[in-house]
Structure 1
Amino acid sequence: MSAPLDGRRVLVVEDESLVAMLLETILEDMGCTPVGPASNIDDGMAMATDGQHLDAALLDVNVAGRQVFPVAQALKDRGIPFVFSTGYGEGGLPDEWRGQATIQKPFTEAAVRDALMKAMGVELA
């Protein structure tokens, strides 16, 4: 039986290398293919808009001192679900992004999996 996230391509936008490596490991453990990670907004924007197939994205809200919302908007425009990660939880998001799937740092593998599955509309097995 394959896991519900097997083979999913997930963009990672995260500027802290240890967190990015942790996310890559978590994604690989779930059977996903990590894309990136992008460590700044410009790289994240390029990866979000270059036309490559993405199933979802994990977006750190504050990337190298810039907010990730332009990348989030580009993904939203392409219909690609995403999850914000932030030290402040959903309460740290601007009003227009409230209600978006959000995980709070430090996060667990289960939190990442559940948020991704919810964002992608995948049923929990």
Structure 2
Amino acid sequence: MLLVEDEGGVALLLEDMLEELGCHVAASAARLSRAREAVEAGQLDFAVLDVNVAGEPSFDLARTLMKRDIPFIFSTGYGRGGLPEDLQDRRVLAKPFALADLRRAITDVLSARS
């Protein structure tokens, strides 16, 4: 799993939550360049993407994940309205959220693929 989050404290909290859900965080990136490297380098099965990563939108990374058939969710305080039209159908997890919300979002995205 790939976690893309630029706020250090939030990233650590999310990593703990993901591990509690039984996920293995293969890469955690605070910058989109590092996230792109992780996508290129590894076999990822899922991603959690902050929408705004150090002032850059993660939309191109999301589109790359779509092309590679890697499921993902957006984690954002902006809500669905902050997404471009072609990504409006993607799952959005509104910050702040609880462990149960994260579990439900991951389960929903993965079950929709089956």
Mark yes or no: TM-score above 0.5.
yes
TM-score, length of structure 2 as denominator length: 0.93
Conserved? CA contact 1:85–1:103, under 8 Å: yes
Aligned equivalents of 1:119, 1:49: Cα separation in 2: 22
Aligned with residue 30 of structure 1, among 7, 13, 21: 21
The residue that corresponds to 1:99 in the other structure is 89
Q: Deviations over 1:8-67 (max 9, x none)?
A: xx21000000110011000110111012210001001111122x2211100000000001
The residue that corresponds to 1:14 in the other structure is 5
User: For 1:91, what is the secondary structure of its paired residue?
Assistant: helix
Aligned with residue 76 of structure 2, among 38, 61, 86: 86
The residue that corresponds to 2:43 in the other structure is 53
TM-score, length of structure 1 as denominator length: 0.85
- 1:28 partner amino acid: E
- 1:31 partner amino acid: G
The residue that corresponds to 2:56 in the other structure is 66
The residue that corresponds to 2:98 in the other structure is 108
* Structure 1 spans left out of the alignment, 5+ residues: 1-9
* Structure 2 spans left out of the alignment, 5+ residues: none
Conserved? CA contact 1:49–1:74, under 8 Å: no
Judging by fraction of residues, say which structure has more helix: 2
Cα distance, 1:88 vs structure 2: 1.5
Deviation beyond 2 Å, 4+ runs, structure 1: none
Q: What is the aligned-residue RMSD (CA, Å)? A: 1.1
